Amino acid sequence: MSDSVLHPIHYCSLSSAADAIRDGQLSPVELTEKLLSRIDSVDGQLRSYATVMTEQALEAGRKAEQEIQAGNYKGPLHGIPIAVKDLCFTAGTRTMGGLKVLRDFVPDYDATVVHKLREAGAVILGKLNLTEGALSGYHRDFPIPVNPWGENLWAGVSSSGSGVATAAGLCFASLGTDTGGSIRYPAMANGLVGLKPTYGRVSRHGVLELAASLDHIGPMTRSVKDAAIVFEAISGFDDSDSSSLRDAVPRITESLTDELSGMRIGVDEHYLASGTNPALVDAIHEVIEVLRQLGAEIVALSMPKSDPMDLRNAWLPICAYEAHKAHSATYPSRADEYGGYFGDALEMGATMSAQDYVNSTKLRREISAQYESALEAVDAVICPSGGSVFAVEKEVQYGNMETLRPVIQHFQGQFTIPADLAGTPTITVPCGFSDEGSPYAVQFLGARLSELSLCRIAHAYEQATLWHRRHPII
């Protein structure tokens, strides 16, 4: 393990740090201490952490070190400091979800994903900030994470803290959730890899719900291999989650290669360019050329025609109705404690009838069928990951549905919402930077259970470029 691979240590890949720990070149205790020190010195300006679990992290680091020294090495997450979105239950540590009504909520058990991470030997550094209830706006009682690429830049939707912490070297990986794009938008905005798995691949047990039929949990990392490592650890059947899939977890890390012979990548030029920043379109065309050089076959296809606002209007009623059900213990009885945007969504859900919901789910099935049909012809479809990052004022993000409209109009939902409606996987990877230095990202869309193929494509592209090695200067 060369010194250059691990310098600076906070920006090295999870897999590189894991190799060094396995080979006895790096101490889990020392690594945990370095990350906690960086959080202490940097996060005051970035506001990515809701709770730093200092004592628990140090204890976990010591335990990992003792286990490894005793010859009980558990794998690539053993002794690695990571963090989780503050929707994930952590026994004995508050889980707030960006919600004032849950400010004092302390669960007595770990979410399944947290339990799996601990079983793999990971060191949980803390809980990461997010939008209120994991929707689009923040509650005024909570800070807004600051994009490390520029303090005036949007940090993404609900998994913003996960995106900021991972991009800024405040953890080696994080967990995010995605109901309408909240792994992919912050991965795009912060220059990261974000893997949204197939619905049911990763257990939702012990994760605060936004919308039960739409919520996905997945990793956010600085490399595709790192995302695959975390995905393999947190995936698998869980009888505590009624939507959990019994399909075997693929061994993705063993299948990553640097060439793409036999892979078919679908391109719909009109789809990827519609409403997209022309410079980002140019960057994606460069991605396509790299994929071609790596041996992939580029296939022209037609994606279903979809307007971002039409898709949002199909998605939002389902989300609002299910969120209202999830918050029945505190809404409307404590409605005054909710913020503007999330309060508006809950009010929308409260006004909907069961028939309204049935009608929305029927539309969902129609959209999903068209979308999945287009994916069947290829190994992946290439497109933006929700657009490109934009400047936004802090105060606007505390607003309601009306005042947040100018922000939401930047969301290119045609690239994010269908995969949540259909429950199909996607992966986001960096693909360049604007002239002003803000990140660009590309997304690969796949059919159900295609995480292995998506990671293989994304990894080969990543290894042929250097974008994932560029980090913000804090």
Q: What amino acid positions are annotated as catalytic residues?
A: 85, 158, 182
- Residue type for 326, please? A
Distance of CA 36 to CAs 42, 51, 450, Å? 10, 12, 36
Residue 32 is inside which H or E element, if any? helix 28-46
Specify whether the CB–CB gap between 425 and 416 falls below 8 A.
Answer: no
Helix then strand count (H, E) for the chain reads: 15, 11
Does residue 362 sit in helix, strand or coil? helix
Return the structure tokens found at 405.
């409209």
In contact, 274 and 369? CB cutoff 8 Å? no
How big is the CA angle at 106 (ends 103 and 108), to the nearest 5 degrees?
Answer: 160
β-sheet with 123-128: strand ranges across: 49-52, 123-128, 81-85, 174-178, 216-221, 193-196, 426-433, 439-445, 380-384, 264-267, 297-300
DSSP, res 22: H
Q: Please state, in angstroms and rounded to a whole number, the distance separating the CA atoms of residues 416 and 413.
A: 5
User: If you write DSSP's letter for every residue of 402-434 in order, what string do you get?
Assistant: TTTHHHHTT--GGGTHHHHHHT--EEEEEEEE-
What backbone phi and psi angles, to 5 degrees, belong to 389? Answer: -70, 150
CA 174 vs CA 86, 213, 281, 407: distances in Å: 11, 22, 28, 25
Inter-helix orientation angle 112-119/224-234, to 10°: 110
d(CA 383, CA 453): 16
* Closest listed residue to residue 4, CA positions, set 27, 20, 21: 20
Q: Which residues pair with 353 in a beta bridge?
A: none
Residues 173, 171: Cα–Cα separation, whole Å: 5
What is the DSSP track for 371-399?
Answer: HHHHHTTSSEEEEESSS---B--TGGGG-
